[in-house]
Amino acid sequence: MRRTSHVHSTDLRGLSRMTADAVVGLTDLVEAMHHSIASTPALLGKPPAGRTRGITGLVYRSVRGVTRLVGGGIDAVLGQLVPLFGEKASSPEREAVLAVLNGVLGDYLESSGNPLAIHMRLRRDGRPLQTDKASLAAALPDAGGKLLVLAHGLCMNDLQWARQGHDHGAALARDLGYTPVYLHYNSGRHISTNGREFAGQLETLVANWPAPVKELAILGHSMGGLLARSAWYYGTAAGHIWPRRLKKLVFLGTPHHGAPMERGGNWIDIALGTSPYTAPLSRLGKIRSAGITDLRHTWLLDEDWHGRDRFARSGSHHAAVPLPDGVKCYAIAATTGKQAGDLKDRLIGDGLVPLASALGCHAEHDRNLMFPQERQWIALETGHLDLLCRESVYARIRDWLAEQAAAP
């Protein structure tokens, strides 16, 4: 068994960078509030621009300067020490913390070069797979022609498919002969950025798979389903081979038309920004990642967000991306209630995703995903994470994937 560790040496370097950036950011926030109050603005209206001046401004500049100097020194020292410690395998607890951190701050971690940022990998049992032919053959000696790729959701990781003693991937390998591979990614990046990279990973995986790929299936939980749709778009546009191998795509609690919690967060940003006294506090809400803000209207493509203020209030003016053509697509939604159809289901659903969003229903015809009735199902008395372990949910997935694929 591999020795695991809750803390890696690189974590210390990553946390020191985050601490320095946080102190600088907090100093900026306090100075902005100080400036707003000192300027005695109107209760409502545009906050005054600029920083404080004189001795007050000097104090704030000194705090920022000292913080950057100390932070840079610590980072340089840790950079020299990290190689001396080596690395152990990551513990499940560390993986879970990193997943949440990346979900909330992943775009910042990546853009700042922070070692805590997760890099997209295909994994098995928490171990990265090298996707050249020889390495795949050595790592997966029993690989068959039925390939299953599982994509996790926001703030989660590939190890969390195993929940309460059950793993959909392992069960489908046992019951239907699939060979499961798990995607691990930084869920704080834009969905389209992850989608394009996911498409490239799938292309390499299928091209170098140890056995001829007769059937590719993707199982996406929550945001993972959105990545699959984005990856299909970019893979098809690039002329990849893997979209032609994809036979079935199963969505578990996927917010096809957005998540209410992110829309609520956007309203809070706007409310805080209406007064110059509270406007600086809106910066706290705006630290949330691009992956989270993409969920407001489900932005799957670069053009949905490129050149826009992702925190600005806007309508759902984004590209309508249909379900993959020629692929059997299935949707499982969940509700915490004992029956479907009431107001609670429409607003809350499984606690995070409303039923209509999970089933792809939309008032606008071109945005309605139109899952056939026999390819959608609602799990009652089931929460968002329960979709990963409920026996009834697995039985539905198993039965759908067991159906004979249609002839090309």
Tens of pLDDT, residues 214-245: 999 999 999 999 999 999 999 999 999 999 99
What is the total count of domains within the chain?
A: 2
Give whichever of 102-106, 127-131, 400-404 has the largest mean pLDDT.
127-131
Is the same domain home to 322 and 368?
Answer: yes
How many angstroms separate the Cα of 107 from the Cα of each of 111, 186, 287, 394? 6, 8, 10, 33
Is the same domain home to 140 and 57?
Answer: no
What percentage of the chain's residues is helix, strand, coil (to nearest 5)? 50, 10, 40
Is the same domain home to 68 and 196?
Answer: no
What range does the domain containing 221 cover?
121-258+318-402
pLDDT in tens, 2-16: 556 666 667 777 777
Q: Is residue 71 part of a domain?
A: yes
Provide the whole-model pTM: 0.81
Min mean pLDDT across 43-47, 210-214, 219-223, 308-312 is at 43-47
First to last CA, the chain: 45
Is the same domain home to 160 and 209?
Answer: yes
Give whichever of 99-113, 150-164, 311-325 has the largest mean pLDDT.
150-164
| pLDDT above 70 (res 82) | no
In 3D, which of 171, 166, 169, 188 has the Cα closest to residue 180?
A: 169
Report the pLDDT value the prediction gives residue 398, as an integer from 0 to 100: 98
Q: What mean pLDDT do residues 343-362 have? A: 81
Q: Which residue has the higher pLDDT, 61 or 363?
A: 363
CA distance 211 to 115: 35
| pLDDT above 60 (res 83) | no
Are the CB atoms for 122 and 182 separated by under 8 Å? Answer: yes
Report residue 43's pLDDT band, with 50, 70 and 90 as the boundaries.
very low
Q: Is residue 291 part of a domain?
A: no
Structural tokens at position 73: 């020194």
Q: Is residue 305 part of a domain?
A: no
CA distance 339 to 367: 26
Q: What mean pLDDT do residues 170-176 have? A: 98
Residue 182 neighbours by CB under 8 Å, 6+ apart:
122, 123, 124, 149, 150, 152, 158, 161, 169
| pLDDT above 60 (res 404) | yes
Is the same domain home to 172 and 64?
Answer: no
**Which of 45, 65, 88 delimits the end of a domain?**
88
| pLDDT above 80 (res 317) | no
- For the chain, the C-alpha Rg in angstroms (whole number) is 23
Report the pLDDT value the prediction gives residue 148, as an integer from 0 to 100: 98
CA distance 62 to 89: 41
Are the CB atoms for 217 and 403 separated by under 8 Å? Answer: no
| pLDDT above 80 (res 326) | yes
Report the pLDDT value the prediction gives residue 363, as an integer from 0 to 100: 85
The mean of the pLDDT values for the chain is: 82
How many angstroms separate the Cα of 21 from the Cα of each of 43, 62, 118, 251, 288? 31, 15, 19, 37, 15
Report residue 340's pLDDT band, with 50, 70 and 90 as the boundaries.
low
Specify the CATH number for the domain of residue 141: 3.40.50.1820
Report the pLDDT value the prediction gives residue 341, as an integer from 0 to 100: 64
Q: Is residue 2 part of a domain?
A: no
Q: Name the residue type at position 60.
A: Y
Is the same domain home to 234 and 373?
Answer: yes
CA distance 250 to 228: 10
| pLDDT above 90 (res 51) | no
Q: Is residue 61 part of a domain?
A: yes
**Which of 68, 88, 108 delimits the end of a domain?**
88
- Three-state secondary structure call for residue 296: coil
Q: Is residue 102 part of a domain?
A: no
Is the same domain home to 68 and 145?
Answer: no
Report the pLDDT value the prediction gives residue 27, as an integer from 0 to 100: 56
Report the pLDDT value the prediction gives residue 274, as an integer from 0 to 100: 46
Is the same domain home to 221 and 337?
Answer: yes
Q: Is residue 63 part of a domain?
A: yes
Is the same domain home to 150 and 214?
Answer: yes
| pLDDT above 70 (res 47) | no
